[in-house]
Structure 1
Amino acid sequence: MPNSMPPFEPEPGAGTRAGQKRRRLRRFGPLPVRTLIPNALTILALCAGLTSVRFGLEGKFEAAVAAVIIASVFDALDGRIARMLQGTSKFGAELDSLTDFVNFGVAPVVLLYLWSLQDIGGLGWIAVLGYAVCCALRLARFNVALEDPDKPVWTGNYFTGVPAPAGAGLAMLPLYLHFIGIPGVSGLSPLIALYVLGVAFLMVSPIPTFSGKRMGLRIRRDMVLPMLLAIGLSAAVILSYPWYSFAGLCFIYLASVPVAAARYRHHKRRTAQIRDGEFDTPIL
């Protein structure tokens, strides 16, 4: 009767150091470059955010705010590039979340504290801690939020609360106004502290806000040239009048919050009416 279970024969040289090295190489194979590019952008964003704190300690507040803005640009690019290159990973998501907390939960309020909030002592530090804690809670809530497949498609156009990058941009509004040349802004430390706590509340609140994640995914051919023209003009305005532009964007975003909440309630009401059979028209 033939032996149905032949004796185990190890791979030639398996017990040697070269054989062990071959097994390790098989276990940890090379990663595609497309997974490295988004993580590299995230690291660049982290470097920009930490450098902003250094500039703040040196009193170079314009350079510090610019570094936070550069970090937000890298943050906006890394996720989109990861999805385009199909290079998303759990490691990249965790790295992005930790980087966002440093760049948008710590750096902006540290700059505000060094610039103005330290004048009111403990109250200013309470505003700093409150903002940082709310940003951490917002990022944690975003990470554990489960994607509901039964949600209507239109819900993808909204965030729950203000996202961390937008919150950082809003928190630095007093600095923009100071750079413009409005006198006495830095002396309004109590009002700045209340404003920072208000931004912190918006980040953890359930208030719907507009999401730009779907912007730019599909553009009609007849809109390509107008879009490029708008991008060019916007870049020219921002480069020529950066602090006026960012201050204006903050006011526009704050004005859009109640509009987003009203639109969200409208879509939610229509969805309920369609589910109850009152309408047959789908909501996009």
Structure 2
Amino acid sequence: MSGEPVTARHGGLPFRALAPNAITAMALCFGLTGVRYAISAAGAGPIAHWEIALACIIIAGVLDGMDGRIARLLRAQSKFGAELDSLSDNIAFGVAPALILFLWSLQYAPRFGWIAALALAVCCALRLARFNARIDADEQPHKSAGFLTGVPAPAGAGLAFVPIYLWLVSGQEIFRDWVVVMPWALFIAMLMISNVATYSWSSLRLKPSYRIVALAGVGLLAAALITNPWFTLLVICAGYLLLVPFSIASYARVKRRRRATSAGAADAAS
């Protein structure tokens, strides 16, 4: 984080710290609201309620991407905000998606359906705990190279919903079958706690000549999300997963360069 963390006066938070924390609280509320609509849809409710449940989690992900940046912009980082953000992420991207998948499909598994849902929630909590434990560590190889360790919680929640996207797009009940959903949920859970190097925003670089093209692409992506959200989210998820092998290869190159640099420095010193 850039800048100095805000300090409380007389036991309170400065006014400028309220904005990012309010956005974090909104993300938490959207995550829990998604569970509310999933419960309603599970009781023979309309398909639209499943769509609203997914939309709530997606909006929570957008808000989660905003709060930290707004905090840095306002120089309003605080320990309170970091703790609130972690708790919000655990509920919005761990507990809520697990409950939605359980109510949508996994509850019909003859056994272990609840265990698969728990795995998604627990692995999200473990990932966030690992992140918090390492936040002040001196040696963080992935972070220092601009990469993340494993799939981040918001991305994991979005990827976990791939079977629901397929169901909404195609209308095929096969995608709702627990035989499909359970292994997928376990796969995403393992990706979240894995040591796989994945791209972060800081590791992505655009050439100046491509910036206008990128802005046009973002605009078209926003339009696609509005007009055909579930198919667009499928494409985004497929693209993210296809990038994982490239991120692993990129980090391997960074490690080789670092080893070569260290070896050269050792030879020069000897």
What is the TM-score of this pair, normalised by structure 2?
Answer: 0.85
Distance (whole Å) between structure 1 residues aligned to residue 77 and residue 39 of structure 2: 35
Q: Which runs of 5+ in 2 are unaligned?
A: 1-7, 42-48, 266-270
Shift of 1:225: 3.8
Q: Which runs of 5+ in 1 are unaligned?
A: 1-25, 279-284
Where in structure 2 are the equivalents of 1:69-108 lying within 5 Å? 69-108=58-97
Taking a change above 3 Å as real, the CA distance of residues 30 and 91 of structure 1, as seen in their structure-2 partners, is: closer
Shift of 1:241: 1.2
**In the alignment, which of 30, 40, 46 is matched to residue 48 of structure 1?**
30
Shift of 1:30: 6.4
Report the counterpart of residue 122 of structure 2 in structure 1: 133
Report the counterpart of residue 38 of structure 1 in structure 2: 20
After TM superposition, the structure 1 stretch with the greater mean CA deviation from structure 2, 158-167 or 139-148, is 139-148
Report the counterpart of residue 102 of structure 2 in structure 1: 113
After TM superposition, the structure 1 stretch with the greater mean CA deviation from structure 2, 207-216 or 110-119, is 207-216
RMSD: 2.5
Where in structure 2 are the equivalents of 1:106-255 lying within 5 Å? 106-148=95-137, 155-213=144-202, 225-255=212-242
Q: Is the Cα contact below 8 Å between 1:115 and 1:186 reproduced in 2?
A: no
Larger radius of gyration: 1
- Identity of paired residues, percent? 45
Shift of 1:36: 0.7
Report the counterpart of residue 247 of structure 2 in structure 1: 260
**Letter of the 1:81 counterpart:** I
Taking a change above 3 Å as real, the CA distance of residues 156 and 88 of structure 1, as seen in their structure-2 partners, is: farther
Where in structure 2 are the equivalents of 1:260-279 lying within 5 Å? 260-277=247-264
Distance (whole Å) between structure 2 residues aligned to residue 258 and residue 221 of structure 1: 26
Distance (whole Å) between structure 2 residues aligned to residue 161 and residue 152 of structure 1: 13
Shift of 1:183: 1.0
Distance (whole Å) between structure 1 residues aligned to residue 176 and residue 9 of structure 2: 60
Distance (whole Å) between structure 1 residues aligned to residue 12 and residue 189 of structure 2: 42
Q: Is the Cα contact below 8 Å between 2:97 and 2:157 reproduced in 1?
A: yes
